[in-house]
Homo-oligomer: A and B are copies of this chain.
C-alpha cells in the first residue's frame, strides 16, 4: 500500500515509476470504493487516475496551479492532496464534495461545476502571476466535451496570442456526458487515430503550440511527456487520450450511464436503486415530436436528463427532429428561437443552472424578436441540485423580467403537461416553463393558458392569502387545510401560473377582503416573484410578507430543512397565518 504514505503531492515524488503504477491502481480502487457506494462522477474520474498522478509527480501544487474544468474529474486529485479518507473510509465520504473547493484544500483553486471555464480561469491566474512577477506553471485540465462550450473557444483564442506559460491539458476520452456532437470532434478523432497528426488541427488554427500523447493511462509515458513541457514559456495544448471509465469493464463499455450516477453493484455495475420509471417530461416531448412533424427538440449535452436514451435520440435525430448541440447552450437557445421564427415548433430543454449561460440569447436573440419558441428549464429552485456549483435559485430573477417572455410555473405534473401543450401550439411569444420536481394532482388541467397572466385561485377565502410559486402550491393548500381544521377559517390560496406579469383582477380582488398576503417561492427572495407582488400592493392597505431563500450560494443542503429555516414549512406557515388571522385589519 503506497496510498497510505501519500498525505500530499510531495509524497508522490518519493516514489519510482513502478511504485507510481501501484499507487495509480490504489487510487483507482479508492475512487471505485466511493462511487460504488454513494455515486458521483464515475467515468471521468476513473479515466484520469494516471494523468493526475503524473501531473502531481511532475508539477508542484500548490505553487504550480491546477484548474480542473467542471471539476468532475477531481477525485484522484483529492485523494492525492490530503483527502484520501473521503474515498477509502466510508465514514468520511461526506468530508468532501464532488467538486474542487478552496475551502477544502489549498490545492483546489476554484469552486467550480459548470463546464468550459477552466482556460479562462487559468489565464486569469497566469496573468496575476505575471503581474506579480512570480514564476510557476498554470495548468488547465479540460475534457473533450467541455471544448464544445463557447467560453472554452474564447479562452483558447485569447491564449493563442498570450505569450507566457500556460499548459492546457485536453483530457480526451472521446465522450461528453453523452456522445460528443460537433464538427470539432471529427478533428479530435483524426488526431487520436493518427497519433496527433491531422490535416487541420483545431488548436494550431488558434495559434497554439500542440503535443499529443496517446498513452493517457500510462503513468510512465505521461511523466516523460509532461516533464518536457514543464516551465514552458508560452501556451501549449497537451492532448491526452484517456479511457473513460478505465478499470471497470462495464463502465468502459457503458460510458454514458457511467458518466455520473448513483451507487452500483461492483460485480456487474447494476444500479443499487432504480427510479419509478415514470418520465412525464420525456413522454410529453415525444408526444409533440410524434404529433407535429415540424417540431424540433434541441438539447445541450444532457439528453439523459430528458429521459432520451440512445434509441429515442437516434429515432428523432434520423427524422431531423432532435439535435444535441453539445455543451453549447447559447447556440441551442438561439437556434431554437430562430427555428420557431422560421415556423418550426421548436423546444430547447436543459437544466436550470446551464440556462445561466443564455441570458443574452434569450433576451436579444429570441425575445427581442418575439420568436415563439419553448424553453424547458429543468430542476430550478431548492428541489433542484443541492451543490453550490449547480444550484439555480435565481431563475425567476433571470427570466421573469425579460420583455415578451412568458414565464410559466406549473404546480403539478398535470399543469406542466397542459403548459407544454399550450406552449408548443401557440405562435405568439417565447415561453419558458420552469419544471421543478412536481407532485401529481391526478386531475387533468383544463386551464386556458392563452389568457395571459391569469392566476389560478386554488381556494377563495378571506383576510389572508398565500401566493405560492409552482411546486409550493401543495404546501400552501396543506396550510389552508390545517387553518380550516384548527380555526374554522378559509384563507385564499393563489397559484399564479404566470411569473412574468400581474393578474390585476385577481390581485385587485384582494384589496377589500384581505389584509395580508404571504408569498412563498423556492428560490432567492431578493428580487424574486414575491417582491413584485409587494410592489403591486405597496401603495395599498394590503400588507405583504415575502418568504424565500437568502442571498447565498447554499451548498449540500436538504431542501426541506432550508425552506423551513426560511419560514416555508407547514408548521411555520400555519403559525404565521394563524397569527395574521388574529390581527384586525
Contact = CB atoms under 8 A, between A and B. Distances in A.
Contacts of A149: 150, 154
Contacts of A551: 401, 403, 501
A368 B389 contact: yes
A293 interface: yes
Contact of A342 (B114, B124, B330, B359): B124
Between A152, A183, A343, the greatest number of chain B beta carbons within 10 A of the residue's beta carbon is seen for: A183
Contacts of A508: none
A182 interface: yes
Interface stretch (A126-134, A220-228, A482-490): A126-134
Nearest to A327: B154
This chain: copies in complex: 2
Given A204-B199, A551-B403, A132 B344 contact: yes
Contacts of A365: 110, 112, 114, 117, 120-121
A128 B154 CA distance: 29
A530 B526 contact: no
A530 B124 CA distance: 36
A381 interface: no
B538 A545 contact: yes
Contacts of A398: 359, 397-398
Given A158-B181, A202-B205, A341 B110 contact: yes
Interface stretch (A1-9, A304-312, A331-339): A331-339
Nearest to A151: B330
Contacts of A330: 120, 150-151, 154, 357
A433 interface: no
A537 interface: yes
A183 B156 CA distance: 8
Contacts of A401: 394, 397, 524, 526-528, 551
A356 interface: yes
Contact of A127 (B125, B150, B344, B537): B344
Interface residues of A, number: 120
A534 to B, nearest CB: 4
A326 interface: yes
Nearest to A235: B183
A465 interface: no
A102 B369 contact: yes
Contacts of A29: none
Interface stretch (A257-265, A317-325, A437-445, A471-479): A317-325
Contact of A538 (B67, B204, B296, B537): B537
A506 interface: no
A388 to B, nearest CB: 6
Contacts of A123: 331, 335, 338
Contacts of A296: 127-128, 131
Interface string A52-90: 000000000000010100000000000000000000000
B155 A153 contact: no
Interface in A351-376: 353, 356-357, 359-361, 363-365, 367-369
Contacts of A199: 204
A122 B341 CA distance: 11
Top 10 closest A-B pairs, CB basis? A160-B183, A150-B150, A124-B338, A183-B207, A128-B342, A157-B182, A120-B334, A538-B544, A154-B328, A154-B331
10 contacts: A151-B330, A151-B334, A153-B153, A157-B182, A157-B328, A158-B328, A187-B205, A357-B360, A403-B553, A540-B543
